[in-house]
């Protein structure tokens, strides 16, 4: 239920290009804060690190918004598929490199 709200609410609000980008920024900021908490906090503070992990999981909402932004702003089926493919590949490469 919470995941559906975090995916649908910002996408319904962002109808204008600038508004969509600002909403993506606002939705992605908790993920950045969560990743910084995981990096900076010591291993002994498990509660704070768990909160950082929960905040980090919000990255999926900004990815869904990015896909909707591609779908609404890119014309043509081939260009749309290429843009979606490239964004998925970049996300996968970033996840792989992030583990190293």
- Residue-wise pLDDT for 14-56, tens only, equals 455 566 677 777 878 888 888 889 889 998 988 999 998 888 8
Name 67's Cβ contacts closer than 8 Å, sequence gap at least 6: 84, 87
Name 65's Cβ contacts closer than 8 Å, sequence gap at least 6: 10, 11, 14, 20, 23, 24, 27
Q: What is the pLDDT of residue 89?
A: 92
Pull the structure tokens for residue 83. Answer: 């843009």
Give Cα separations from 7 to 38, 51, 98 (angstroms): 24, 20, 24
pLDDT at 1 over 50: no
Q: What is the pLDDT of residue 13?
A: 52
Q: What is the pLDDT of residue 17?
A: 57
Residue 65 vs residue 100, higher pLDDT: 65
């Amino acid at each position: 239920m919470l995941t559906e709200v975090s995916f649908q609410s910002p996408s319904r609000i962002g109808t204008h290009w600038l508004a969509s980008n600002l909403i993506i920024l606002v939705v992605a900021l908790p993920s950045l804060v969560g990743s910084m908490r995981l990096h900076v906090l010591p291993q002994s503070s498990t509660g704070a690190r768990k909160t950082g992990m929960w905040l980090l999981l919000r990255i999926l909402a900004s990815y869904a918004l990015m896909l909707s932004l591609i779908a609404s702003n890119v014309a043509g089926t081939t260009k749309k598929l290429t843009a979606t493919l490239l964004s998925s590949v970049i996300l996968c490469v970033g996840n792989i490199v992030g583990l190293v």
